[in-house]
Structure 1
Amino acid sequence: MAGATEYLNLFVAETSWYNEIVLGNIVPGEAWRRLPHFFQSWLRNYIGGLLVYFISGFLWCLVIYYWKRNVYVPKDAIPTKNAMYLQIMVAMKAMPWYSVLPSISEYMVESGWTQCFSTISEVGVPMYFVYLAVYLAFVEFGIYWMHRELHDIKSLYKWLHATHHIYNKQNTLSPFAGLAFHPLDGILQAVPHVIALFIIPCHFTTHVALLFCEAVWTANIHDCIHGKVWPVMGAGYHTIHHTTYRHNYGHYTVWMDWMFGTLRDPEEDENPKKA
């Protein structure tokens, strides 16, 4: 028992270190130290989420809409400042709730309920990558079906997912639309990351990093720029999703849509085959 407790304390020490880095350098005063550990982690995730959202969003908008204006997207496809402002407002209302999920996942890891391991050396580098590949495949599968059901189940679409789908064409989509969801919708689509922890051994630090990568990735796939890197589910695919509502439900790759018959290739849309 003592050994198990000592091992779990490694996770607590790691999250405490994250809290110190973020809260100790950003939050004025020392009052945050008196908060229970869970709420410290929530506050850190909230502040970290805001930083990732605004830094990635503003930098990407600066590059594609101003510095490289008319290079990556045509002028009539650039969203208005008002559209981006409204997307930011939706995301800001949801952000406190989004931050609950990683805080809960950290609590479950710290409590020993998951298959997480603390250091890569415990499993070795080869098995680390094997577990990571299985974890990512599970997450891809889970997000695909969660996203698809948010469309197929009419009540879920009406009350949750429709909030995101008011942005349905190029001149309304922007990197800031990436987190503009109903809070429960955004959480549901991230839940596969947490479910995987109970089934697949996962490096804890990698899990934390991947959750924050979600925010960067969702900004990227809403910028309407098709990177054309197979099998990546880039913005070209996701723009089609926003215009047809019935294709390209995948997250990082096209594989799930290919397997389940919902893939629509943007290059085929641009260059239809002649009869």
Structure 2
Amino acid sequence: MKTMVLHIKVTMRSLPWFAALPTFSEYAVERGWTKCFSRISEVGWFAYLVYIMAYIAVVEFLTYWAHRKLHDIKPLYKYLHAQHHSYNKQHKISPFAGLALHPLDGIAQGGPHEIAIFLVPTHFTTHLTVVFLGAIWSANIHDCIDEKMWPLMGGGYHVIHHMSNRHNYGLYTIWMDWMFGTLSHPVSNPTKPN
């Protein structure tokens, strides 16, 4: 319980900084700097679905590399990402740990959503929905439920990340970890009933 209270305190301290990202994206969209569109009818349903897949792929790729570099570059890990990984024991990870990040760490890992709207035509409401669901997903992958949700980056995969610091950097899926050789699958628990 004490650990969860700490997670909540760290999250609440960082949330105003995290809120800057969607605020910036709204401003950028209104200024016409992004590739966002407001109506699906502007591009048609087929293009809309292709753009969603491209948007998610860009977010996955950029998030994977941002997260991996937060581990690989020692000063970034020490001063930014280590705070999140101070909850590395499985019994200390909680859904509240998902957003218990240094503000700059949160911006580095949330930034790919914002960068993607400059690269891929994106329905703006869909973008905001994916950002919102990303926060929920972050809580989900820190819930210590060790189910193997292939190809999704579920809690079972992410607990391995917290235990090893060398595997499973992805956000929504395991594809980037698979492509770049950092994937580690959860092992089925033989004592758990099927």
| TM-score for both structures, normalised by structure 2 | 0.95
| Structure 1 residue 229: Cα displacement | 2.4
Please show how residues 85-164 of structure 1 align to structure 2 within 5 Å.
85-164=5-84
Q: Are 2:109 and 1:189 equivalent residues in the alignment? A: yes
In structure 2, C-alpha distance between the alignment counterparts of 1:135 and 1:215, rounded to whole Å = 17
Other structure's SS at 2:90 match: coil
Counterpart amino acid of residue 234 in structure 1: G
Please show how residues 200-239 of structure 1 align to structure 2 within 5 Å.
200-239=120-159
Q: Which has the higher contact order (CA 8 A, sep 6+)?
A: 2
Q: Which runs of 5+ in 1 are unaligned?
A: 1-80
Stretches (4+) displaced over 6 A:
none
In structure 2, C-alpha distance between the alignment counterparts of 1:226 and 1:252, rounded to whole Å = 15
In structure 1, C-alpha distance between the alignment counterparts of 2:40 and 2:79, rounded to whole Å = 42
Deviations 1:75-107 (CA, angstroms, capped at 9, x unpaired): xxxxxx111000000001001111011100100
Two-structure CA RMSD over aligned residues (Å)? 1.0
Question: Quick check: which has more Rg, 1 or 2?
Answer: 1
Counterpart amino acid of residue 217 in structure 1: W
| Structure 1 residue 226: Cα displacement | 2.5
In structure 1, C-alpha distance between the alignment counterparts of 2:38 and 2:121, rounded to whole Å = 10
Question: Percent of aligned positions with the same letter in both sequences?
Answer: 62
Q: Are 2:100 and 1:180 equivalent residues in the alignment? A: yes
Partner of 1:245: 165
Other structure's SS at 1:267 match: coil
In structure 2, C-alpha distance between the alignment counterparts of 1:252 and 1:227, rounded to whole Å = 15
In structure 1, C-alpha distance between the alignment counterparts of 2:163 and 2:150, rounded to whole Å = 21
In structure 1, C-alpha distance between the alignment counterparts of 2:90 and 2:111, rounded to whole Å = 28
Partner of 2:178: 258
| TM-score for both structures, normalised by structure 1 | 0.68
Partner of 1:82: 2
Q: Which runs of 5+ in 2 are unaligned?
A: none
Greater helix share, 1 or 2? 1
Other structure's SS at 1:160 match: helix
